[in-house]
Structure formats: C-alpha cells, structure tokens
C-alpha cells in the first residue's frame, strides 16, 4: 500500500456493513463500482487464507452492485448483451455471462439472476453496466425499466458456511444447488440467498434488499457464527489466484475478448441468437486466439505487490505477456500469478521470465488454472 | 482516513505521473474513473490551500478520462446527450455540459472539447460515460467511433501558472482564453493545452497524448517551476468548496436533476433541439425545483471529515437536507460546506442545524456559493 491512505468521501460509497467492518478492525479498502470493498483485516493474507479454507467468513461484497432489468423487453435486452444463450434459463437460476461491446471487447463479466420472466439482475464487476444497459435500452427503444436497486450482497464463505446458514435459515438452505437461489424470511422481509461467491471454498451470498437491515443481518450471522469460528474476511488474493477466479480490470479489460479470458464455455456458439459483437467474435475465432490467461509459478521472496503488471519475457528477452495479479501461496510454497500469455508460450510447463519491479528478473513456469 | 489504506492493483490504474507523485511524497489517494487521483502530499490541506492561492501547483488529474467521439454522427450524438445547445460551438472551445438520463438524472458533468467538426472529447467526472455513449450509439445505429484515447490531463494551477507555462511554451499560451484550447509542440509531439482546471485560481490543463511522455512533461514543468515556487498538489477541498466547484458522486448523483445542481445556465431552454430527458426536465421545471445545492457555514473545531453526508435539520428537528462535502476554511475562519437544501430553507442567512457524526449537533447558516 506504500503508505498511501484512501481519502474517504460520499462518492466512495459506504455500505450497510461498513460500520461493522470497521468494528472488526478493517485495515485496507479498495474501491469497486464507486463503493468500498474491504481488503484486509487485522491478520495477514496468509492467516486469512488458511482460515477461509477451514472455517467460515463473512464478507461485505455490497460493491457487487445489481443492475435490475424489468419489463416486456427485459429478456430480449439481456440476450443481445451476451453471446451466452439465456433462452432456457430457469427462474431461481444464476448464470455467469460475458458482456461484449461491438468489437467483442469485455464490458463486464456479471452473474445474471433470473427473478421472474422478464425480470433480471446483473450482479456486476467493476464497470458501470447500469449506464451501458440504459444507453442500449434508450437507443433501441426497448420497453424496460433499468435501475440500481437497494440491494447489498453479503457473502458467507468457507466449508462451515452451510452449517452456519442452516442454523439461521433452516435446512431449506441446503436444498439450494450451486448457482441457484431461493427466498428466505429475515425479520419479516423476503431475502434472496444464492449458493455462490467469489471463492472456491463454497458458501452463500445474501442479496440483502434494504440498507437499514444491514447491521441486523450482520449481527445475526456473526452471533450464530461464533461456534463456527467465524471471522470478518474479504476476497482472498491467494485463494482467488489459486482457484483461477478472474477480476475485471485486473486480468482483463475492454481491450480483451472472451476467448483470451478462457470464457469459451460461456459462448453459445451453437446458438443462432443475435448479440452485440457477434461478427467480431466470429472473426476472432476464425483468425485464431492469440493469447490467453494462464497461471504462472515464480520464485522471489518476498513476492512484491503487483500494483502494476509484471512483464513476462521469453528466454530471449521478448515481451510475451504480463502478470496481472500475483502473491506467494503458502500451500504451494511458490509465488502464484494470473497472466495473459502469447500463444507460442502458453503451454503448461514452459519456462519464461518474470520482470518484477526495479528490473529484477526471476524465472517462471506456465501453469494451468486453477492451480492444484 | 481512519487508518485504512488503499489496496493497489492494476484495476486501480496508475497514471503516467504516478511515479513522480510518489517521489513527491503523496500520502493519500482516491479513485476516480478506475484511476488514482492524489489527495494529499506531505503538507496539510490548509498549507496546500494557501500555497495554491499564491503560487503554482502541478496536479495529476489523469483520472479526468476522455471519451472520444468521432464520425459523421458525432455532433448529433453529443447533442442528444445534453440539454445545452452545442450547435454554435467553435473548434478550440470547451463547454461544460450536463449529461442526463431519460429521467433528467445526472449521468455526468463533463467538459466538452471540440477538436474538429464531428470530433469531440468529453472530459469526464467519475462515471463510465464511455459505456453510456457506446450504448446509445449502438442502439441508435449512429455512425461514430467511441473510445478512451491515451490522453492524461496534467493541471497547472495557481496565479503563477501563466508565467510558468509561458516560460516553457512561449507567449502564445497567454492568448488562450478561458475555456479555450490551442495546440503546442512538446518534444516534437502536438499537445492540446486548455485554460481551465478544477480551481478558481486560474491555470491550464495539458491533455497529454501519450503515456510515455508523462515523466518528461512532469520534469520539464517541475524544473521550470522551481523559480515560481512550484509544488505537487491536487484539487484542494478548502478551495473547491469555497469556489463552489461541485463533485459528481459527492454533491450530486444520478438521483439529482440539473436544476438541483444550479446548472440552470447550462440548459438551453430557448433551444428546440431534442435531447435525452427533455420531457422529464420540462416536467420538473413546470412543477418547480424542490431543493438546490447551497453553501453552508457551521462551527465545531475540528471539523470532522465528511466521509458520509451530515444531515441538515430545521430548528424543529426535521431533516431538510445534507452536507455532502465540508472542511474548515482558514480564511473565512468557519467550517464551510456544500449541501443539498430543501426549498423552504435554502435562502441565504437561514439558520439551520448540522448533525455531525456521533449525534453531535451544531448550528449552521445557509450561504450562497461561491463563498466570498
């Protein structure tokens, strides 16, 4: 963090849980969708990693803002925004969908939730999908209402998440399948809970509807969580890299196409539906994908923070990619990274070089993701 | 800042000047348009305020990202995005334009630069106008190209700015009128320089085209600036509030209409051009504006940081508005704030109450902006 604090203002929005997060000793934030996301509590990232793998954590992920699309053209609008076919999506289902611009560049990689026919939420990464969606709907003259509802996701992650949530919401919570959701009563309100989250340790996300219920929800989960050894946490960089979970703005941007992000399986190439960027995407496919996101293992202790990408070089010194996120993994006992790598070098096992800050160069090896 | 650091990653983009800013001892950042904006150097905000009023400062305002709109429908597209008439705008001119959604809610308040006929830049505040503009253009099927160019504004602000800039770029710089721009040679490149900036102390903004020229530009200005007592600075909260300069996301959001922001003079109500939100804006005008941004003076030493809005109360205890930015002004010798205030209470001189954190209440008085 280089001694540089974050200057607070209304523009960097607080969440319903920020007071609680501060009570829990948060020591670092980042900003996502104009909103605070905790990044560190009073423990190291490694301590947090081990705890997450063995217990349960409560995460303020309110910054996963929702874009609500409702109206007779809602499904039509969502469908033209993504190459993934949504025609057979069921109510109560979540779907990870790439959003493309006309050049097949990534606008965002949200989770789509189908609440009713022609009623959707896009649970977004860090770009103003609200404005993209509103612009499209205005220009196309579609019959939809688009807004950011007062919904503030709270994630419960880790192997003990199910037992904790069942102790609060009953055994019905166990019936929720991965990437599905059901509604539950909370103090007389109806709340959407999905089995999902930004870790590979399992868990749930409560899409809390209503800012004022935030403190109470946190308290109820916190109190019930004590016997499960709950702590306040946040997306863990070690675990995220290990699991191959990508971050928009870090691993990829609007300059990247979905093939480069390994989103091939989310592109319904067998569907004949129309979507923005279709021509560009087909052209890219025909010409061949030139680079992809890969894992990378490299030495150097301590691993310097990856505040700006580390160039990746061939043994001959040519730039062949970049590490966009990196950190030491105490289980693998190596530095692990996510990196965009040119086709000639992307095979697992290839030896390359990683240029850390201050021109320090270290050897690295290409790895598939997720890391095992 | 509450002891909370900013977690750095590629997603929070560095600028061409971030290395220089760090060399100058930056001690706080905020994030605007997914990019770092310095907020504090190794001096107090008060010291910085006095220095800015008397000398010259160099500010990394790269986060003022440009949305470039070029093509045969460029002017048509920009015109439907704003109630301000742009039909008689000249090449070389800057224009402050509110952007509205269909409800007349504020999307952003950029500065529009006309580079050529059908070639514009929108120099934006903190929301992804790129996505809004691209969505509109796609939906309307307009013939335009829209992109974020590699342009990184650097501001030179303060009463000695003109003398400094003339010593580098020649006396031609003095010919630039307020909110106009000309092109200047810099190391063989052609660079746009405008007389503008986010202070009331006068100065220029260099819209540097080319990331790699950033260090050199900073060095040339820094070296020439020594005899003008230059320091590294940033938008100064005391000076900004005193001058009535608003900040999107702080003083107003998409929930506010341009009347509430006192943008009446930027609404070409005598023009019959079509624009997004026209019906809503006319309805609001006919029904009457219900609240406006006003200045506010209040006591309490020290002034607590306004990380979340301070409610403003009537003497009877009813909520009548909120302070969205506030700080002690050492020249006025009072706390000064910007606040959204209901119509019944917005007259200058009205006595109200400001509810600071922890339920502390202090008396306040409504003031016109700018403060004098």
Cα angle B352, B339, B204; round to 5: 140
Interchain pair B5, A4: CB under 8 A = yes
Look up the pTM and report it: 0.97
Interchain pair B7, A29: CB under 8 A = yes
pLDDT at A370 over 70: yes
Residues 6+ apart with CB under 8 A from B185: B191
List, for residues B259-295, the tens digit of each pLDDT value.
Answer: 999 999 999 988 899 999 999 999 999 999 999 999 9
The closest CB to that of A7, out of B14, B29, B128, belongs to B29
Cα separations (Å) of B181 from B82, B94, B156, B193, B206?
Answer: 21, 7, 14, 5, 9
Mean pLDDT check: name the lowest of B73-77, B205-209, B335-339, B353-357.
B353-357
The CATH number of residue B195's host domain is 3.30.1360.120
Same domain for A59 and A71, yes or no, is no
pLDDT at B4 over 70: no
- Read off the pLDDT band of A338 (50, 70, 90): very high
Same domain for B166 and B60, yes or no, is yes
Domains: count for chain B: 3
Neighbours of A144 (CB within 10 A): 23
Mean pLDDT check: name the lowest of A83-87, A331-335, B47-51, B298-302.
B298-302
For residues B109 and B125, what is the distance between their CA atoms, to the nearest angstrom? 6
Tell me the shortest Cα–Cα distance from B249 to chain A, in angstroms.
4
Q: Is residue B273 part of a domain?
A: no
Interchain pair A6, B8: CB under 8 A = no
Q: Is residue B92 part of a domain?
A: yes
The closest CB to that of B139, out of A9, A11, A140, belongs to A140
For residues B214 and B258, what is the distance between their CA atoms, to the nearest angstrom? 35
Q: Is residue A185 part of a domain?
A: yes
**Is this complex's ipTM strictly greater than 0.90?**
yes
At residue B357, the pLDDT reads 76
Question: Final residue of a domain: which of A147, A179, A211?
Answer: A147
At residue A349, the pLDDT reads 97
H or E element in which residue B240 lies:
helix B237-242
Residues 6+ apart with CB under 8 A from A164: A56, A156, A221, A224, A225, A228, A230
Phi and psi, residue B158, nearest 5°: 125, 165
Write down the mean pLDDT value for chain A: 96
Q: Which domain holds residue A325?
A: 290-372
- Measured between beta carbons, the chain A residues lying within 8 angstroms of B139 are 135-141
At residue A216, the pLDDT reads 98
For residues A129 and B282, what is the distance between their CA atoms, to the nearest angstrom? 28
Interchain pair A127, B127: CB under 8 A = no
For residues A220 and A208, what is the distance between their CA atoms, to the nearest angstrom? 13
Cα separations (Å) of B47 from B42, B55, B303?
Answer: 10, 12, 16
Q: Is residue A210 part of a domain?
A: yes
Same domain for A59 and A98, yes or no, is no
pLDDT at A321 over 90: yes
Tell me the shortest Cα–Cα distance from A4 to chain B, in angstroms.
5
Interchain pair A141, B139: CB under 8 A = yes
Q: How many residue contacts between A and B have a Cβ separation below 8 Å? A: 183
pLDDT at A45 over 90: yes
Contact A249, A222 (CB under 8 A): no
Tell me the shortest Cα–Cα distance from A12 to chain B, in angstroms.
8
For residues A62 and A21, what is the distance between their CA atoms, to the nearest angstrom? 12
Same domain for A169 and A213, yes or no, is yes
What counts of helices (H) and strands (E) characterise chain B?
8, 22
Tell me the shortest Cα–Cα distance from B174 to chain A, in angstroms.
35
What is the arithmetic mean of pLDDT over B55-84?
Answer: 98
H or E element in which residue B20 lies:
helix B18-23
The closest CB to that of A9, out of B27, B139, B325, belongs to B325
Interchain pair A7, B14: CB under 8 A = no
pLDDT at A2 over 70: no
Same domain for A83 and A157, yes or no, is no
Contact A155, A58 (CB under 8 A): yes
Same domain for B55 and B70, yes or no, is no
List, for residues A133-188, the tens digit of each pLDDT value.
Answer: 999 999 999 999 999 999 999 999 999 999 999 999 999 999 999 999 999 999 99
- Measured between beta carbons, the chain B residues lying within 8 angstroms of A128 are 127-128, 131-132
Across A235-254, b (16+ Cβ under 10 Å) vs e yields bbbbbbbbbbbbbbbbbbbb
- Measured between beta carbons, the chain A residues lying within 8 angstroms of B306 are 9-10
Question: Final residue of a domain: which of B101, B120, B147?
Answer: B147
Same domain for B323 and B177, yes or no, is no
Same domain for B323 and B192, yes or no, is no
What are A205's strand-pairing partners? A155, A194
Three-state DSSP at B279 gives helix
At residue B269, the pLDDT reads 83
Phi and psi, residue A114, nearest 5°: -100, 110
Phi and psi, residue A217, nearest 5°: -60, -45
Tell me the shortest Cα–Cα distance from A229 to chain B, in angstroms.
25
pLDDT at B348 over 50: yes
Q: Is B178 exposed, middle or buried (0-12, 13-18, 19+ CB in 10 A)?
A: exposed
At residue A366, the pLDDT reads 98
Interchain pair B107, A26: CB under 8 A = no
Same domain for B96 and B29, yes or no, is no
Q: Is residue B274 part of a domain?
A: no
List, for residues A85-99, the tens digit of each pLDDT value.
Answer: 999 999 999 999 999
Same domain for A301 and A226, yes or no, is no
Question: Final residue of a domain: which of A147, A180, A209?
Answer: A147
At residue A336, the pLDDT reads 97
Same domain for B59 and B87, yes or no, is no
Q: Is residue B280 part of a domain?
A: no
What is the arithmetic mean of pLDDT over A117-146?
Answer: 98
At residue B302, the pLDDT reads 83
Cα separations (Å) of B193 from B92, B184, B206, B224, B236?
Answer: 10, 7, 4, 17, 22
Q: Is residue B107 part of a domain?
A: yes
What is the arithmetic mean of pLDDT over A90-113?
Answer: 98
At residue B3, the pLDDT reads 39
- Read off the pLDDT band of B301 (50, 70, 90): confident
The CATH number of residue A321's host domain is 2.40.30.110
At residue A47, the pLDDT reads 97
At residue A358, the pLDDT reads 72
Contact B70, B119 (CB under 8 A): yes
Nearest CA in chain B to A307: B9
Interchain pair A2, B9: CB under 8 A = no
At residue B2, the pLDDT reads 36
- Measured between beta carbons, the chain B residues lying within 8 angstroms of A30 are 6-7, 9, 11-12, 31
Interface with chain A: mutation pick from B1, B2, B3, B4, highest number of A CBs within 10 Å: B4
Q: Is residue B281 part of a domain?
A: no
For residues B17 and B211, what is the distance between their CA atoms, to the nearest angstrom? 9
Same domain for A329 and A363, yes or no, is yes
What are B363's strand-pairing partners? B353
pLDDT at A5 over 90: no
pLDDT at A1 over 60: no
At residue A3, the pLDDT reads 40
At residue B237, the pLDDT reads 97
The CATH number of residue B71's host domain is 3.30.70.1400
């Amino acid at each position: 963090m280089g001694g540089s604090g974050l200057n607070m203002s209304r523009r960097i929005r607080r969440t319903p849980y920020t007071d609680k997060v501060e009570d829990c000793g948060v020591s670092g934030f980042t900003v996502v969708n104009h909103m605070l996301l905790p990044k560190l509590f009073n423990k190291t990232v490694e301590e947090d990693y081990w705890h997450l793998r063995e217990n349960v954590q409560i995460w303020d992920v309110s910054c996963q803002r929702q874009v609500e699309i409702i109206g007779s053209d809602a499904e039509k609008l969502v469908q033209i925004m993504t190459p993934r076919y949504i025609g057979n999506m069921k109510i109560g289902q979540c779907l990870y969908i790439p959003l493309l611009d006309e050049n097949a560049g990534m606008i965002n990689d949200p989770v789509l939730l189908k609440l009713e026919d022609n009623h959707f939420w896009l649970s977004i990464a860090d770009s103003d999908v609200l404005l993209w969606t509103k612009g499209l709907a205005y220009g196309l003259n579609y019959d939809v209402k688009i807004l950011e509802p007062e919904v503030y996701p709270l994630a419960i992650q880790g192997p003990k998440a199910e037992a904790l949530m069942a102790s609060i919401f009953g055994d019905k919570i166990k019936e929720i399948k991965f990437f599905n959701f059901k509604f539950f009563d909370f103090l007389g309100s109806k709340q959407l809970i999905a089995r999902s989250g930004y870790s590979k340790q399992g868990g749930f996300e409560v899409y809390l509807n209503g800012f004022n219920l935030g403190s109470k929800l946190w308290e109820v989960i916190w109190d019930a969580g004590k016997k499960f050894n709950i702590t306040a946490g946040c997306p863990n960089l070690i675990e995220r890299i290990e699991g191959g979970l990508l971050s928009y703005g870090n691993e990829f941007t609007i300059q990247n196409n979905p093939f480069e992000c390994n989103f091939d399986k989310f592109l319904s190439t067998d569907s004949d539906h129309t979507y923005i960027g279709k021509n560009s995407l087909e052209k890219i496919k025909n010409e061949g994908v030139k680079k992809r996101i890969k894992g990378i293992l490299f030495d150097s202790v301590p691993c310097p923070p990856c505040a700006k990408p580390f160039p990746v070089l061939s043994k001959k010194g040519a730039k062949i990619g970049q590490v966009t996120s990196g950190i030491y993994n105490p289980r693998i006992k190596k530095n692990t990274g996510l990196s965009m790598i040119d086709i000639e070098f992307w095979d697992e096992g290839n030896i390359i070089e990683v240029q850390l800050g201050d021109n320090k160069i270290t050897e690295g090896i290409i790895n598939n993701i997720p890391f095992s």
